[in-house]
Amino acid sequence: MSNITLYVPDKVKEKMDSYSEIRWSEVVRQAINKKLIETRKLELLKKYVEKEPFTDGDLVWMDEHDWHPVDEQQMKLSFIKEVQKRSKGKFIRAKKVEDLFE
């Protein structure tokens, strides 16, 4: 594992020291990992929007992180309205699956 040196203002260091139970190196490590994941998602989202093909590495990364650029798209308002309309529709109460296909 590599080491990095991080400089913080004295006032920040004083506040950090008052919370000795917190492993600040772990906080920083998690923040860096989060930023790396966000950055990678943005790269893949850009590829998706520009209709560039994904590499095998891209697909593996997306699978490992259970993520795809489509996950970031908002649903179209027309689709949402259609789902809401259908959910207010008439329902059939059935005891068996066969009852649905009369």
Kindly report the pTM of this predicted structure: 0.66
Report how far residue 11's alpha carbon sits from residue 17's, in angstroms, rounded to the nearest whole number. 10
Type of residue at 77:
L
Q: Can you spell out the DSSP letters for 58-84? A: HHHHHHHTT--GGGGSPPPHHHHHHHH
Per DSSP, 21 falls in state: T
Position with higher pLDDT, 18 vs 101: 18
pLDDT score at 95 = 77
pLDDT score at 94 = 73
pLDDT score at 27 = 97
Q: What is the tens place of the pLDDT at every residue in 24-82?
A: 999 999 999 999 999 999 999 999 889 999 999 999 999 999 999 888 777 677 777 77
Cβ density class 26-39: b for 16+ within 10 Å, e for less: eeeeeeeeeeeeee
